[in-house]
Amino acid sequence: MSLELLAAGKLLEIALNAIVGDAASEGAKLLWQKIKNRLQTNQPIEAEIVELEQNPTQENLKQLEPFLHVEMRSDPKFAEEISKLGREIAQASGGDNITTGDIKAETGGVAAGKIDAPGSQFGGSYTTIIHNYEGKGEAQKDTQDSRSTGQANSQTTSTNLITLPPNLDNWVERKEEIEKIEAWLNNRQVTTVGITEAKTLGIQGLGGVGKSTLAAYFYDSLDFEAKFWADVSGKPDFKVFAEKIILALGGKVTPTNKNTELINNLLQLLNQRRCLLVVDNLETLLDEERNWQDKDYQQFFSLWLNNGTNSTLFITTQDKPTLFQGLQHWHTLGGMKIEEGIALLNKLAIQGTKAEFETFVKYVDGHPLTIKLVAGFLKEYCDSQLSRVEELELEQFDLAYQEAEGLHRSKQDARLSWVIQQHLARLNPEQAQFIKNLSVYRLPFNREAARYM
C-alpha cells in the first residue's frame, strides 16, 4: 500500500489560508498550527515565521519550504498527518481533483508531479514535489542492536536527530577538563591555510560520565558565528543529518540533492564561516570494530579531517573511531573529583556529613549519573538523607555484579541498572509498567502515543 504525501510547498499554501482573511477553515488553522509548532521547535526560523504571518506573500512562503521539507523527511508520521489534513482541506474547499501526475519515484523516493487545487489560496496548476512513502511506519525504526554489524548503510535507518543540547540544571564546573579544552580552543597555530584553532576535538568516556553535559557547557559559552548540536543517538540517516545542519548554517537544500552534494555543501559552509558543530553520542554510528556503519558519514568525517578549516567539530563518544586515532585534541573523561561530586550532591539538596559525602562519591567513582539517580531515590524515599543510602542495598549490588560480571560493558553500567531496579521495586505494577513503556520514547511524543502507555 502506497501513501502519497503532499509536498511541503503545497501544504504551506493550503495552510496560508489560515493567515490571510477571516474566513479560514478550522482545518486550515489546525494545519498551520501543526506546521508552525513543528518548525518553531526544531528549526531556527522564528523571524521567518513572524514575517510570513505579518506579510503572507509567496516569497515569504518559499522561505519556509525547505525547512518543512526536512521535517517531513525526518518524520514520516508527521508527514502523513499533515498531508492527510491538507488533502481534506483542499477537497472540502472544492479541490476534489487533486492529482499527482505521473509519479516515477522509486520506493521512498521523490518525484515531480502536477497538482490541480482550485481551492488553494494561490490556485491554478503548478509543478510540485510529492513523496512516495510505501507505508513503512514502524518499519523505519531500528530494531537491531546499533553495534551488531559493520555493513555500510545497513544500520543508520532511523530519522531521529536531536538538535537541542542537554540542559545545565545542577551544573557543577569540572575545572580541570574545562581548562584543558579551553587551552585547545585558544591555542592558535599557523598552518598552510593561515591561523586556525583546534578544528577537531573529542571527549570519550562511559555512558553517564558527563560527556554531553560538558560539551553543552562549551556549546552555551563559546562565541561562534553559528552553532549546531547534532545528537546522533537516534542513528539518523546521513541525509537528515546533513540537511538540518546546512539549513541551520544558512545554506540551501533541494529535494534532488544527492548525499555527495550535501557533503560538499556542508564542508563548504563550515569552511566559509567560523561555526561550532557538536556531534553527540557518535558511538551509535560505529560498528564493533569502531568503523563507520554508513559510508556517507565516513566520507564526511574523512573529508573534514583532511580539508576542514575555520570551524570546530566537537565530538562526544563512548568509543573513539578508528578514523580519529592519532588526533591530538582528545580527552578521556573519568568520574568527578570528590569535591565536584560533593558539590553535585549539595545542588541536588541531599543532606549528610562531609565524611558521608566523601565515602559515597568514592564508592560510585564520582559517576555523575549514578549520583543523580541515587539522589532521586533518597529524595523520594529517604527524606534526602544520605545516611539512609543503605536502603538501596548497594552491598547486594556488589555481590550481584561479581556473579554477573561480563554481562555489562562496565561496573558503572551494572550499578546504574541496579539503582533503577531499586526505583522500580518501590512502584506498584501499574506505575512500573508505565515507566517501562515511557522509557522507549527518546524524543517528545504526542497524545496518541501517550494513550498506548
pLDDT of residue 419: 64
pLDDT of residue 142: 33
Residue 143 lies in a domain: no
Q: How many CB atoms lie within 10 A of CB 198?
A: 19
pLDDT of residue 241: 94
Same domain, 97 and 222: no
- Percent of the chain past pLDDT 90, that is, above it, reads 36
Residue 310 lies in a domain: yes
Reply yes or no on whether the pLDDT at 148 is more than 50. no
Report which DSSP code applies to 28. Answer: H
Reply yes or no on whether the pLDDT at 249 is more than 80. yes
Cell 548503510 belongs to residue: 153
pLDDT of residue 234: 87
Ranking 198-202, 228-232, 270-274, 405-409 by mean pLDDT, the lowest is 405-409
The CATH number of residue 218's host domain is 3.40.50.300
**Residue at a domain's end among 278, 305, 332:** 332
Cell 512513502 belongs to residue: 133
Same domain, 396 and 297: no
Residue 184 lies in a domain: yes
Contact 257, 305 (CB under 8 A): no
Residue 372 lies in a domain: yes
Residue 149 lies in a domain: no
What is the band of 350 on the pLDDT scale with cuts at 50, 70, 90? Answer: very high
Same domain, 99 and 11: yes
Three-state DSSP at 195 gives strand
What is the band of 20 on the pLDDT scale with cuts at 50, 70, 90? Answer: low
pLDDT of residue 214: 97
pLDDT of residue 149: 37
Same domain, 216 and 327: yes
Same domain, 274 and 352: no
Cell 555512558 belongs to residue: 207
Residue span of the structural domain in which 272 resides: 175-332
**Residue at a domain's end among 315, 332, 349:** 332
Q: What is the pLDDT of residues 273-285, one digit of tens each?
A: 899 999 999 999 9
**Residue at a domain's end among 332, 360, 378:** 332
Residue 161 lies in a domain: no
Same domain, 319 and 382: no
Ranking 124-138, 215-229, 356-370 by mean pLDDT, the lowest is 124-138
Same domain, 101 and 186: no
Contact 326, 197 (CB under 8 A): no
H helix count then E strand count, the chain: 17, 10
pLDDT of residue 449: 45
Average pLDDT over residues 190-205: 67
Average pLDDT over residues 114-139: 31
Residue 369 lies in a domain: yes
Same domain, 81 and 217: no
Residue 153 lies in a domain: no
Same domain, 293 and 409: no
**Number of domain units in the chain:** 3
φ and ψ at residue 25, rounded to 5 degrees: -70, 160
User: To the nearest 10°, the Cα dihedral for 74, 281, 37, 167?
Assistant: 180
Average pLDDT over residues 294-302: 94
Ranking 6-20, 102-116, 176-190, 220-234 by mean pLDDT, the lowest is 102-116
On average, the pLDDT of the chain sits at 75
Reply yes or no on whether the pLDDT at 225 is more than 70. yes
Same domain, 198 and 318: yes
Same domain, 406 and 312: no
Q: State in Å, rounded, how far the first CA of the chain is from the last one.
A: 28
Ranking 141-155, 254-268, 314-328 by mean pLDDT, the lowest is 141-155
Average pLDDT over residues 81-98: 73
Same domain, 216 and 264: yes
**Long-range pairs of 77-81 with CB within 8 A, sequence gap ≥ 24:** 77/137, 78/38, 79/5, 79/131, 79/133, 80/3, 80/5, 80/133, 81/34
Q: pTM, whole model, 2 decimals?
A: 0.64
Name residue 312's beta-bridge partners: 276
